[in-house]
Amino acid sequence: MGVCEADEVPADAVGRRVACGAERATVRYIGPVPPTEGLWLGVEWDQPDRGKHNGSHSGVQYFTCRHPRGASFVRPSKVSFGVDYLSAVQEAYGSDVQDAVSEASSNNVDLRLKELRNEQLWSMLLSRSQVNGPGEDGQVHQVAPNVQHLDLCGTLLCCWEDVASICLQLELLQSLQLSSNRLRLPAEPASLSQAFSRLTVLAINDCHLTWPQILQCAPMWPQLKVLSAQRNAITELQRPDGVLQLLETLSLCGNQLVQETVLCLGSLPRLENLRLSETGLSELCFQDAAPGSQTSLFPALTELNLDNNNISEWDVVSELSKLPRLVKFSCSGNRLSSSDGNPKTVTQLLIAKLGRVLVLNRCDILHEERRGAELDYLKLFGEEWLKAGGPGPVSDEFLRKHPRYLELVEKYGAPEEGEMKKQKPLPLTKNLIKITFVFPDHPDRQPIQKKLSVFMELQKVRGLLHRLLKVPAADLKLTYSSPKMVGREFDINNDQKTLSFYAVEDGDQILVRWS
């Protein structure tokens, strides 16, 4: 792919997408930048750490961008404005494509030969190519008319109209990958729906879209069943009224959501699989349903992923038991804990509280495992049940915390007083593990041994090391090694997670590096 000379800069360059090596950017300005001579392009990088400023130079604001240091001025000769669809296909698939196009445009087409040459192109993979548009009318259809899956991630397409022009020529298209693009929103989304009339799967991860923008685009996708919109600019959710009504799978992982608005998705009538890992969630409450009853929201939801969030309260799990069809649930990497500090007890509590769930954290729940968890749950909270009024009518507060308890009493019978387990806080010493800090890049420093709580967050570990080493906490890179797996190092890089989350154990080493 060639670069652009100054006299080849498109007239509509502002708003166009460009490639500079492996990086992608959007042109925000074209013109002089005094006191230098010649033509400059002001670009906003997709990766803001590639930039140097915010679109200003010597006190003059030439353009603006989202990130305060996400912009640069570059010479036109350093960038490429890309190529049309056919050229990108030729680059990816070789000269056979040109033969197929030439043959398709002749009067005496050997249809069988054309079919053979296009059979391998039911899936067109143009990820990270420099395709910038559909090219001449009909070329997309001539190259590979039978494409069902199209990958256009990280291209130089700049607007939904160009995407629609490509997809309109692919009459069998069902799956479209558009992640890592920056597409201008269409003026009339509904007018483009014919281009996506068969589309059922769409990925728009890392596209810097908000939820209102996605809803604005949604009329283009009337048959959509699977939508992945991970790591966008989605925060506050709104009800998808009149759109996305056929959606069965939705992934919003990696977006920092306003958690009260998650229930806005509960109106989707066919949503079966919802993925909300790494969204910052800590609370969830279905106020339309009393403890032990079922919510009217999420009527079709069978699978829910809440991995790597901030859930620490068991009330959230009690609320999830209100989902009428939930059978697959994953919540690893949260802060749920038990009074004995044993992760296995946490698993047992989840099984006991979620009576309909069959798969927990990607593991099938066996019949005997469920029976044991439910019996232990009865015994563990038996004393609390008695104090709340059992075996007679119990308090509303107890039912709120343990909505399945009466169901389990009916299933197994009330626990005998001698079976009831007294809940005792885990002694502090049971929480402590001995860790050795070592400094592989600084052999002059002696290893440091410390006893730390397994529930200590990595952020506090950094703070401890800052005080010991007098090195800025942000500069510290941490890994750990275990004598059980000699020769391997494991990254620990999420400051919100605990040592137990990373399975750091007594006797392990934490390797500390800094520049």
Which band of pLDDT confidence, cut at 50, 70 and 90, is reported for residue 299? very high
3-state SS assignment for residue 50: helix
With vertex at residue 93, the alpha carbon angle to CA 91 and CA 95, rounded to the nearest 5 degrees, is 80
134 domain-assigned:
yes
% of the chain residues with pLDDT over 90: 69
Upper half-sphere CA count for residue 471 (Cβ side, 13 Å): 15
Residues 109 and 223 occupy one common structural domain: yes
* Cα separation, 52 vs 45, whole angstroms: 10
Which has the closest alpha carbon to 386: 376, 377, 375, 398? Answer: 398
115 and 71, same domain (yes or no)? no
The answer to whether residue 268 is domain-embedded is no
Q: Which pLDDT band holds residue 186 (cuts at 50, 70, 90)?
A: very high
Eight-class DSSP state of 258: -
CA pair distance 324, 350, nearest whole angstrom = 16
* Structural domain includes residue 199: yes
pLDDT band at 449 (very low <50, low <70, confident <90, very high): very high
- ∠ Cα 406 325 253 (to 5°): 115
Domain end point (choices 46, 78, 110): 78
Based on the fold, state whether residues 94 and 62 are members of the same structural domain: no
Considering the domain architecture, whether residues 107 and 73 belong to the same structural domain is answered as no
The reply to whether 172 falls in a domain is yes
Q: For residues 182 and 207, is the Cβ–Cβ distance under 8 A?
A: yes
Q: Say how far apart CA 99 and CA 110 lie, in whole Å.
A: 12
Mean pLDDT, residues 418-423: 62
Same domain, 166 and 193: yes
**Contacts by 197-200 with C-beta closer than 8 Å and gap 24+?**
197/222, 197/223, 198/171, 198/172, 198/173, 198/174, 198/223, 199/167, 199/173, 199/174, 199/175, 199/223, 199/224, 200/174, 200/175, 200/224, 200/225, 200/226
Strand partners, 44: 26, 71
Residues 119 and 219 in one domain: yes
Higher per-residue confidence, 354 vs 97: 354
- Do 446 and 486 sit in the same domain of this protein? yes
pLDDT value for 303: 98
How far is it, in rounded angstroms, from Cα 43 to Cα 458? 37
Q: Average pLDDT, whole number, for the chain?
A: 89
Residue 342 lies in a domain: no
Q: Which region holds residue 55: left if phi is over 0, alpha if psi is between -120 and 50, else beta?
A: left
Q: Give the integer Cα–Cα distance in Å for 213 and 195.
A: 19
Q: What pLDDT sits at residue 424?
A: 53
DSSP state letter for 242: T
The domain tally of the chain equals 3
Q: What is the mean pLDDT of residues 40-60?
A: 92
Residues 6+ apart with CB under 8 A from 36: none
Residue 72 maps to which CATH number? 2.30.30.190
Q: How far, in Å, CA of 166 to CA of 182, rounded?
A: 17
Cis bond upstream, residue 35 (ω within 30) = yes
| H-run or E-run covering 143 | helix 139-143
Look at residue 432 in the predicted model and tell me its pLDDT: 86
- The model scores a pTM over 0.85: no
Return the pLDDT at 108. 36
pLDDT tens-place string over residues 217-251: 999 999 999 999 999 999 999 999 999 999 999 99
Strand-pair category, 123-125 with 149-151 = parallel
Q: Which residue range(s) make up the domain with 118?
A: 83-234
- ω into residue 391 within 30 of 0, thus cis? yes
Contact 408, 377 (CB under 8 A): yes
Same domain (yes/no): 97, 161: yes
Question: Distance between CA atoms of 215 and 252, rounded to whole angstroms?
Answer: 14
pLDDT of residue 342: 83
60/173 same-domain check: no
Do 109 and 183 sit in the same domain of this protein? yes
> How confident is the model at residue 97, as a pLDDT?
55
DSSP 316-346: HHHHHTT-TT--EEE-TTS----TT--HHHH
Assess whether 70 and 90 both reside in one domain. Answer: no
Same domain, 126 and 207: yes
